[in-house]
Amino acid sequence: MANLEERVKELEAKVVELYDREAIRDLRYRYHECINEAQLAAIPELFTEDGEIDFGHLGKAKGRDEIKAFFSGLGPGRNAAEGQRRQGLYRVRQFIHNHVLKVQGDRAEGYAYLEAKPVYNGESYVVAARYNDEYVKRNGKWLFSRMSLTPFFMVPLREGWAGDDLLKMGR
Q: CB within 8 A of 147, min separation 6: which ones?
A: 31, 47, 51, 52, 53, 54, 131, 132, 133, 134
pTM recorded for the entire structure: 0.87
Q: What H or E segment, with its residue span, contains residue 8?
A: helix 2-36
Pick the residue with more confidence: 84 or 133? 133
Strands 107-116 and 84-85: unpaired
Note whether residue 50 is domain-resident: yes
Note whether residue 17 is domain-resident: yes
Note whether residue 167 is domain-resident: no
Amino acid at 43: I
Note whether residue 32 is domain-resident: yes
Note whether residue 49 is domain-resident: yes
Res. 49: pLDDT tops 60: yes
Note whether residue 165 is domain-resident: no
Please state, rounded to an integer, the average pLDDT across all residues of the chain.
90
24 with 103: CB under 8 angstroms?
Answer: yes
Q: What is the pLDDT of residue 84?
A: 56
Domain count, the chain: 1
Q: What is the pLDDT of residue 78?
A: 46
Region 63-86: what's the mean pLDDT? Answer: 71
Note whether residue 45 is domain-resident: yes
Pick the residue with more confidence: 121 or 135? 135
39: CATH: 3.10.450.50
- Per-residue pLDDT reduced to its tens digit, 99-115: 999 999 999 999 999 99
Note whether residue 78 is domain-resident: yes
Half-sphere exposure of 61 (CA within 13 A, CB side): 20
- SS3 label, residue 110: strand
- The candidate with the shortest Cα–Cα distance to 131, out of 117, 151, 116, 145, is 151
Q: Which domain holds residue 75?
A: 2-156
